[in-house]
Amino acid sequence: MTDKVYNVLFLCTGNSVRSLIAEALLNTMSKGRFKAYSAGSFPLGKVNPLAIELLARNGLATEGLRSKGWDEFATPESPHMDLVITVCDNVAEGVCPIWPGHPVCGHWSFEDPAAVNGSDEQKREAFHKAYQEIAQRLHLLLSLSLESLDHLALQQKIREIGRHPL
């Protein structure tokens, strides 16, 4: 067992919902084993209010969450990332920066709850569904014995989690 804290960067296009939910969830669920960050390829500059509402309702800290660009994490001075996980298909299909330190990269596809049209209740249901799906995959990540996996094995496990049925 190691005391290493693994840095994880969750990427999305707008960095206003899914990547921020993943950041908040992992920072809470991992109890210090992971330090999660989030960013966007084209950040909206604000966190979706329904995401803040959902996180607060589930007892997760929202202080300090902000929509930001991935360029904050693509410099040699940035925190070294062990894992970079895209959570929206647009980012996964695009060209991402070359990350310092060559982290393990993977893609976990989640539908964008902010794209749902309908009543406030339907929108809240979509946000709750995304939250549950993200939490499910994070539970799988937390079950891994990372210190026993080499880079290629960890890459495979992260990709398997992304293909896990929701």
For the annotated catalytic residues, the residue numbers are 12, 88, 96
Residues 58, 131 contacting (CB under 8 angstroms): yes
Residues 2, 17 contacting (CB under 8 angstroms): no
Give the C-alpha separation, 147 to 1, whole Å.
7
Give one word for 15, left, alpha or beta, with left for phi > 0 and alpha for psi -120 to 50. left
What the block records as the tokens of 100 is 């310092």
Give the C-alpha separation, 130 to 107, whole Å.
15
Residues 114, 129 contacting (CB under 8 angstroms): no
Burial label, 59 (beta-carbon count in 10 A; 0-12, 13-18, 19+) = exposed
